[in-house]
Chain A
């Protein structure tokens, strides 16, 4: 029962933090919308897309990048939640949280779930705006992507959590931007299909194929079109488990090194 109460409290805290930071919500929405309505519109004719699963026919570039932009929201939010942990640590509220008489893994997991739920809500807000501009998913796709968004969100949140355990100061966060967010996003199938990447460089294609973010995006893409992608699911769940374990290890070692 106390576990459930703690989970509720942490999720509620994340929700309150989100509600009070409206500019964060707007920023999270504007970023993918600029990609969708400006970048994708500009590249609409330049990037010819052949028919690749899960698509059954020709699609516009804007339709292609929607799952990637859902992943982008999850990626930025996952990293942002790690930023908030660093702020918590600097303000001392982290110490308060971690001294709670519950296992650390549960507290961190609750934090992860709370942050991911907020991210998923933002994805749906983005999809609603995109639909307003005529860029829609199949009707049932909106329901089917929920678990895929949750799993991918947990994976990226766990990665952020792991990174935050090693970043001691807020100033160091820019490194995450340069060395984690940008490479993860651009070296993935979010903006271009992997076969397109293979045309220019096999090495880049292989890096993209190994990127967990690629698998998260593909999981969302297939779910949106009501198709299973078991390799993507397997890789995303596996990466989530690894990143979560690393995050727990990072926070345990951080605590033991402090004590």
Chain B
């Protein structure tokens, strides 16, 4: 078998240097009119610093980025069972409508007479989100899930301040199974974090919440369905206890996909919840963003929503309220302009395509697919929460593989060679060696079966004691295992022209 080639390519896998190694200062892929040579009005502030930005012609640019793209795994290539990330199919109709001239070529500060369609679309989206969640209001502007959490917690803070308890209530309860953004958000909003320890059944217990309650508690941040892939059975009682103690319930809506059209968070006593449009409503993940995190708010929190928001006038036209100081109790502003409009169009196209009936089917199929994988994998792996059904994702742990010398990461890397993106590894933290598997509703049964067959074959290989196979995985990917320690010990975060590094060190 060939292992090395002269070119460094491996068949369709093209080796590709950095643009800084192939481009040059006079290379360009654009043809612009020549400047006329006017005298500048820069007041002597013309750039003196070197730019040294490489340029490439259009064909070279196309090749560079197409070659890079071929080193990526993607939903369009295969099952992407990353738990809590909801990697579902991204319909291309969504891409098309987001690029309609009347949306894409619209400036956020145009006079309101010229943006009535955009405001109507935002109102439509708000209506869908409020109806699906059973909540009365939504702040559309948060730019991602964590930004939505921040908006929700700031609304809670503003509500507490409005009733004179801002100074008194500083403690936020966060279960240990929570995603890291929850405690980070609570801290960013100026609260202290009090962790509710995990239990063996992966759920938050009313007793544990009650034990933490007090007149200094501002809120609880709870994920439902939770990060273990389970619906919180005591959620309503927890909500009642929290409210009775004068605090608020923030729900992390990352896993809304499991219950959309089936359960309304508003019926569970939720005060605020962000919705990741890139999860439940299929806007593309794009290799890390952009997301969008509209945040639904209860009656109690709605008055504190940030600016901007839309007001519909008697004549049917819409205007924007853009100044917090002129907007009663609004807590402030999350970002410049109105939020992720490009994601609003995509999400609305997705919701309209599914409709109320299809969205309900989304939740049912997502849960069915996860439970089907659970049923198929359980005889071969350790499932920490027994036989109870899961929601949209199934959680396994490393109890059955660890004694054989194989860790979760090794199993994940072996999946790479099988042509799969692995499940989420080591999250939630409360389960040892967690493997969180979320197939989503857009996987056909035969793909689930193929994946289950691969997982079972790997489990058998673990049992056969072939530890070296796992430790050496992956072998067939564009890159073998990468050295994270080296990257962190000597951070090299950018290209520098040869010699620059030495010169800089000498100058210091």
To the question of whether A and B form a pair in one complex, the answer is no
| Interface set of B (CB-CB < 8 Å, partner A) | none
| Interface set of A (CB-CB < 8 Å, partner B) | none
